[in-house]
Amino acid sequence: MQERTEAVLANGFADHVLVCTNARDTEYACCADAHGEDVYEAVKAWLRDRGVFWSQVHVAETSCLGLCSADGTAIAIHPRGRWYSDVTPDDVPELLEREFGPEASKLGVEPSPP
């Protein structure tokens, strides 16, 4: 096992966006059925367009974040401690602009309370 915190931070890492794409075969809502994959792709595209994807902001698909809804996907942004539910692909630009600024210039900073 290797502890890599210093190396990751030295490379400019600022934030981590977790996007639920969890699927389940039950009657309960899940993010996969609420366009989780499309939200994941929209997050990556927004960050890529601003040149911060995989440099300062890491993005990961995740299993259940516990905010299940048929109306959209769950997203968590760390280390900011921000949690969102019901996110659609169309919501991604507004959400990320609010968190990171229009040009992703507010990375690695504590946002003001919601």
Rounded distance, CA 51 to CA 12, Å?
13
Rounded distance, CA 91 to CA 23, Å?
21
Cis ω before 79 (30° cut-off from 0): yes
Burial of 104 (0-12, 13-18, 19+ CB in 10 A): buried
In a domain, 105, yes or no: no
Residue 114: pLDDT band with limits 50, 70, 90: low
In a domain, 111, yes or no: no
In a domain, 7, yes or no: no
Whole-number pLDDT of residue 101? 95
In a domain, 112, yes or no: no
The helix or strand, by DSSP H or E, that contains position 38, with its residue range, turns out to be: helix 36-49
Q: What percent of the chain has pLDDT over 70?
A: 95
Residue type, 82: R
Instruction: With beta carbons less than 8 A apart as the criterion, state whether 82 and 95 touch.
Output: no
Residue-wise pLDDT tens digits, 40-68: 999 999 999 999 988 889 999 999 999 98
In a domain, 61, yes or no: yes
Range of the domain at 29: 12-100
Q: What is the CATH number of the domain that holds 44?
A: 3.40.30.10
